[in-house]
Amino acid sequence: MAAAGALPAAAAQLGSAVAAAPEARLESVRALAGLFREAQPREMAEESVFRDLLNILMSTSSEIEQAYKDSCEMVDLDTCLLLIAECFRCLRNACVECAKNQHVMRNLGLISTSVHLIKLLHGIQIKEELLLTALRCSLQFLGNIAAGNGDSQNSIWKCAFPDLFLTCLMYSDEKIVAYCCMVLFTCLNAEKVSELLDPRNLTVALHVLKVYKQQLESEWSVTLLELIMAKVSEKNPVTSEEMNVFMRHADFLAGCFQEKCEAVLKLTSAADAEDEEALVTIRLLDVLCEMTSNNGQLEHLQALPGLLETAIDTLRLTHLTGKQAVNIFTATHAMTGQEEISHPAVGFKSHLIRLIGNLCYKNKENQDKVYELDGIPLILDNCSIDDNNPFVNQWAVYAIRNLTEQNERNQELIAQMEEKGLADNSALESMGLEIEKGDGKLILRSVRKKPS
């Protein structure tokens, strides 16, 4: 209540300080930024306050530009940078959970002014903490004005993409890069991710993915994967340039999955059910399943070194983990409640088998690789109904058929396993497969449907 009462005086002081010396402006803005930490003053703020802040930013920007244009050393650059940072802090605070202020600021042109100022500060090219602080605060403001506000998100995207994002993503300062990513991902939607993956913006996309790899556990990484998932799931034909972009993304995503796949084991503990790194691993697998379901991308992914091996190793690891103790990777044949059904790892083993099946589709080298890695018995051991892995039987059928297509050695292995009792004949029958003996050989073949 005290803060709300102090707002009129602080706003009046700001208005009178617009044309004053930088030190006086700095004091007024700093006082207002403090008041906007509370909700009531934010709601009470009038448009004139934000117009005054805009004027201060524009005049300070002009002073800096003029100083560099005329090689003038009379401008107190440190005070200017402090003032810019404080203005953005004030605007950042005023946006928090306040759509009214977001709307007013956008209509006043504060977004385009901010983008211009960020570019200006970048052009100063001095490595000072004051400069970095001003840049950080400006990006935080853009993130806050975009939060939950589609109009602001569109406005930022129009002004900032791709140049500003590329500029900030290339900074060595981790906070500037992180705040830039925050703005980028706040603005992204299915339409904008298409622009991000456009061949003309490949440099931006690759920088985003580089940052993503370095900060894989950050909260926006799942968002990126959701959006890439939506894009790769589209059935629209792609150009050769777009396919080149997807291939670069595929290499990166496959590498991330290979590096981070064991993180999913954290989900055996209820305390880690929302572990960010584990959730990213799950979404990485989902994206790779979609990518390998696309004929245009499949051949490239089939040839990636280590991906098939990682999928088999991860399936073996999760399968053993589920056998050693009761957890989300333990096969269950009766629904045990909504809590387990909604667990993020539900379906993980099904998707691993799907990925293995995709990678072996009409690919003799990968079929043989699964044989050598003892992957066929592993898949057969995961083919029974499992409520923690919906459709696991169907994906196992698909994988076994892809593994045995025109591959006698794999067919013979399964036939020998059945004869020795190592493969469940009823499971094979449920897959639509049967073992036939003839000419001294055991042959695996599809069951012929009997007329009804």
Q: Among 42-46, 75-79, 158-162, which is the least confidently predicted range?
A: 75-79
Whole-Å CA distances, 429 to 416, 448, 450? 15, 11, 14
- The one-letter amino acid code at 101 reads N
Closest by alpha carbon to 239, among 300, 296, 287?
A: 296
Q: Which of 108-112, 121-125, 332-336, 396-400 has the highest mean pLDDT?
A: 108-112
CA 65 to CA 396: how far, in whole Å? 66
Helix, strand and coil content of the chain, in percent to the nearest 5, comes to 70, 5, 25
Closest Cα to residue 402, out of 350, 358, 446?
358
* Residues paired with 443 in a beta bridge: 436
The predicted-structure confidence for 292-306, as pLDDT tens digits, reads as follows: 988 778 998 999 989
List CB contacts of 271: < 8 A, sequence separation 6 or more. none
Contact between 260 and 219 under an 8 Å Cβ cutoff? The reply is no
Closest to 359 measured CA to CA, from 421, 285, 433, 283? 285
Number of Cβ within a 10 Å radius of residue 75: 17
| pLDDT reported for residue 434 | 66
The candidate with the shortest Cα–Cα distance to 356, out of 335, 379, 336, is 379
Place of tokens 């992957």: 375
> H-type helices in 96-149, by residue range?
99-108, 110-124, 129-146
List of long-range contacts for 397-401, beta carbons under 8 Å, 24+ apart: 397/430, 397/431, 397/432, 397/433, 398/354, 398/357, 399/353, 399/354, 399/356, 399/357, 399/360, 400/376, 400/431, 400/433, 401/357, 401/431
For the packed helices 174-187 and 129-146, what is the interaxial angle rounded to 10 degrees? 20
Domains of the chain, by residue range, sit at: 1-187, 188-298
The Cα–Cα gap between 261 and 281 comes to 6
Architecture of domain 1-187: Alpha Horseshoe (1.25)
- DSSP letter at 263 equals G
Please provide residue 431's backbone torsions phi and psi, each rounded to the nearest 5 degrees: -85, -5
Question: Among 255-259, 275-279, 379-383, where is mean pLDDT lowest?
Answer: 275-279
Residue of 302, 203, 310 whose CA lies nearest to 256: 310
Buried b (16+ CB within 10 A) or exposed e, 142-176: bbbbbbebeebbbbbbebbbbebbbbbbebebeeb
Amino acid 452: pLDDT: 32
450 — pLDDT class (breaks 50, 70, 90): very low
Query: What's the length of the chain?
Result: 452
Instruction: Say how far apart CA 396 and CA 416 lie, in whole Å.
Output: 18
Give me the phi and psi of 438, to 5 degrees please. Answer: -175, 140
Q: How far apart are CA 114 and CA 46, in angstroms?
A: 20
d(CA 422, CA 424): 7
Of the candidates 190, 191, 179, 254, which has an alpha carbon nearest to the alpha carbon of residue 218?
A: 179
- Report the share of the chain in percent with pLDDT over 70: 79
Residue 58 near residue 120 (C-beta atoms within 8 A): no
> Worst-scoring range by mean pLDDT, 132-141, 165-174, 358-367, 400-409?
165-174
Residue 369 clears pLDDT 60, i.e. is over it: yes
The pLDDT of residue 101 is 97
Amino acid occupying residue 162: P
Integer Cα distance of 86 and 133 in angstroms: 9
Average pLDDT, the chain: 84
Nearest 5°: the CA angle 261, 172, 255 is: 20
Q: What is the model's pLDDT at position 349?
A: 96
CA dihedral over 417, 420, 423, 429, signed as positive or negative:
positive
Give tens-digit pLDDT for 215-225: 544 555 666 67
pLDDT tens digits, 102-112:
999 999 999 99
pLDDT at position 65, please?
A: 83
Q: Write down the pLDDT at residue 399.
A: 94
